[in-house]
C-alpha cells in the first residue's frame, strides 16, 4: 500500500453533497435541491423518492450480503420479501412483483396476505415470482393468477375474495391522552367479526411491550363500538401503547402504536436541619403529599453517599440523625420517577 498518510487527498469531481440516501435523484453531484424537486410526473409532489437498499441473497450458500457477487463466487439476487408463518398482512391497493434474478421468488408467503390486486412489472413468464406453498393469498379482484406459472402452488390463491370477511375488526381510531395525571386510551371499531377480547400493551422504548390490561370484545357486530381504558400508573416520560385483538379461535392482529408524553406531578419536599446536643445533624424532611413513596438520599459535594432510604407512601415527615462534618450537602428525593434536589449547609 505504500504510505497512505503521504498520499494526496482525492476529491470527487464535481464535488458530491451527499452519497446516501439520494441514489441518483440528486444528479451527478447528489444535490439535495435537485432531489427535493424530483417528480415522477407533473402531478406528483416533489421530493418523493423510491430508493433501493442493499439486501441481497445467495441461493447457493444461503448467505445474506450487500454484494452483487457472493464470496462463494455465485451472483446474488435481491432478498425476497417474506411474510412469516402466523402473520397476517393487509395491503390496500396493488402489489407489483418485479424480477428477482436467477428465477428466484420476489415474494414468499408463509402466513396470510390480503390485497386488492397483484401484478408483475415484467410480462415475461420467467420474471417476477410468488411462492405461496406454505401460506394463503386473498385477492379482491380476479387476476387469473391460478393459471400463471409465476405463482408457485397457485392452488392456494383465492380470487375474488372479500377482505371484510377475513378482517376480525375494523379499527377506525386509537388514541392516548393525558388527563388528570393518568393516561386515557380510547379506541373505536366500525365492525367486528368473532372478536373475543383486546389486550393493551405498554412500552418505554417502542420495542419491548408488557401487558397491562385486557378488555372484552363484542363478538360479531356491524355497529360502531367504543372502548376506553385508564392507565392509572403511567410511565414517566414518553410511553408507547399498542392493542392486540384476539378472535375466538385465538387468531391475533395488532394495532398501530400510539405515543404519549407523561410528566408526573410530584410532591414537593422540604428539609430542615438542627444540631443535636451530641453534635449530630438532625434532618427533618417533610412532604406536601403522602400518596406515593419517596426515595431520599444525601450526598456530599464530592459524591460520597451519607444516607439513603425509601419513605413509604402515607408518611408526611421523616427525621434522621447523621454524623456530618461542616460543609454543603445535596438532598435528593425521587418520587414517581421524578428527581428533586435541595442543598443544606452544616455549620
pLDDT score at 279: 83
Provide the β-strand partners of residue 192: 169, 221
Q: What is the largest CA-CA distance in the chain?
A: 98
Distance CA 137, CA 117 (A): 10
Residue 266 has pLDDT above 70, yes or no: no
Distance CA 161, CA 167 (A): 12
What's the pTM? 0.43
CATH of 169-261, picked from 2.60.40.10, 3.30.1330.200, 1.10.300.10, 3.30.1740.10, is 2.60.40.10
pLDDT digits (tens, 9 = 90+) for 37-48: 777 666 666 666
Identical topology for domains 169-261 and 269-346: yes
Pairing of strands 258-262, 237-247: antiparallel
Residue 282 has pLDDT above 80, yes or no: yes
pLDDT score at 142: 61
Residues 315 and 287: beta-carbon distance below 8 Å: yes
The full 3-state SS of 250-297, as one line of letters, equals CCEEECCCEEEEECCCCCCEEEEEEECCCCCEEEEEEECCCCCCEEEE
pLDDT score at 1: 47
**If you ran DSSP here, which 8-state letter would residue 75 be given?**
B
Tell me how crowded residue 210 is: count the other CB atoms within 10 A of its CB. 8
Distance CA 218, CA 49 (A): 43
Closest to 336 measured CA to CA, from 232, 259, 241: 232
The mean pLDDT of 142-162, rounded to a whole number, is: 63
pLDDT digits (tens, 9 = 90+) for 36-86: 777 766 666 666 666 655 667 787 887 887 777 888 888 887 777 777 776
**If you ran DSSP here, which 8-state letter would residue 156 be given?**
G
Q: Write down the domain spans for the chain.
A: 81-164, 169-261, 269-346
Residues 207 and 223: beta-carbon distance below 8 Å: no
Residue 198 has pLDDT above 50, yes or no: yes
Pairing of strands 157-158, 136-139: parallel
269-346: CATH architecture? Sandwich (2.60)
The mean pLDDT of 226-231, rounded to a whole number, is: 95
Mean pLDDT of the chain: 79
pLDDT digits (tens, 9 = 90+) for 300-324: 888 889 998 988 888 888 898 898 9
Distance CA 311, CA 318 (A): 8
Amino acid at each position: 500500500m505504500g504510505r497512505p498518510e503521504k498520499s494526496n487527498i482525492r476529491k470527487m469531481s464535481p464535488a458530491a453533497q451527499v452519497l446516501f440516501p439520494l441514489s441518483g435523484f440528486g444528479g451527478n453531484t447528489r444535490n439535495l435541491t435537485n432531489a427535493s424537486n424530483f417528480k415522477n410526473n407533473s402531478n406528483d409532489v416533489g421530493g418523493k423518492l423510491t430508493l433501493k437498499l442493499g439486501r441481497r441473497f445467495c441461493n447457493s450458500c444461503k448467505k445474506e450480503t450487500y454484494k452483487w457477487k457472493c464470496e462463494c463466487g455465485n451472483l446474488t439476487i435481491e432478498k425476497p420479501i417474506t411474510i412469516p408463518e402466523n402473520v397476517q398482512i393487509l395491503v390496500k391497493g396493488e402489489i407489483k412483483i418485479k424480477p428477482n434474478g436467477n428465477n428466484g421468488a420476489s415474494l414468499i408467503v408463509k402466513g396470510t396476505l390480503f390485497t386488492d390486486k397483484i401484478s408483475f412489472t415484467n410480462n415475461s413468464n420467467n420474471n417476477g415470482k410468488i411462492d405461496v406453498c406454505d401460506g394463503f393469498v386473498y385477492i379482491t379482484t380476479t387476476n387469473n393468477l391460478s393459471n400463471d406459472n409465476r405463482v408457485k402452488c397457485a392452488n392456494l390463491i383465492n380470487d375474488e375474495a372479500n377482505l371484510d370477511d377475513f378482517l376480525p375488526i375494523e379499527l377506525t381510531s386509537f388514541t392516548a391522552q393525558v388527563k388528570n395525571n393518568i393516561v386515557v386510551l380510547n379506541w373505536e371499531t366500525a365492525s367486528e367479526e368473532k372478536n373475543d377480547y383486546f389486550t393493551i400493551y405498554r412500552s418505554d422504548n417502542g420495542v419491548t411491550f408488557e401487558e397491562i390490561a385486557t378488555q372484552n370484545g363484542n363478538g360479531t357486530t356491524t355497529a360502531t363500538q367504543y372502548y376506553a381504558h385508564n392507565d392509572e400508573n403511567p410511565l414517566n416520560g414518553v410511553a408507547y401503547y399498542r392493542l392486540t385483538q384476539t378472535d375466538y379461535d385465538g387468531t391475533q392482529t395488532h394495532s398501530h402504536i400510539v405515543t404519549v408524553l407523561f410528566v408526573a406531578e410530584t410532591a414537593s419536599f422540604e428539609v430542615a436541619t438542627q444540631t443535636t446536643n451530641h453534635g449530630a445533624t438532625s434532618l427533618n424532611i417533610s412532604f406536601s403529599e403522602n400518596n406515593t413513596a419517596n426515595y431520599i438520599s444525601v450526598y456530599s459535594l464530592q459524591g460520597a453517599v451519607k444516607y439513603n432510604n425509601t419513605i413509604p407512601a402515607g408518611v408526611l415527615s421523616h427525621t434522621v440523625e447523621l454524623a456530618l462534618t461542616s460543609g454543603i450537602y445535596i438532598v435528593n428525593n425521587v418520587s414517581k420517577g421524578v428527581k428533586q434536589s435541595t442543598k443544606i449547609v452544616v455549620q
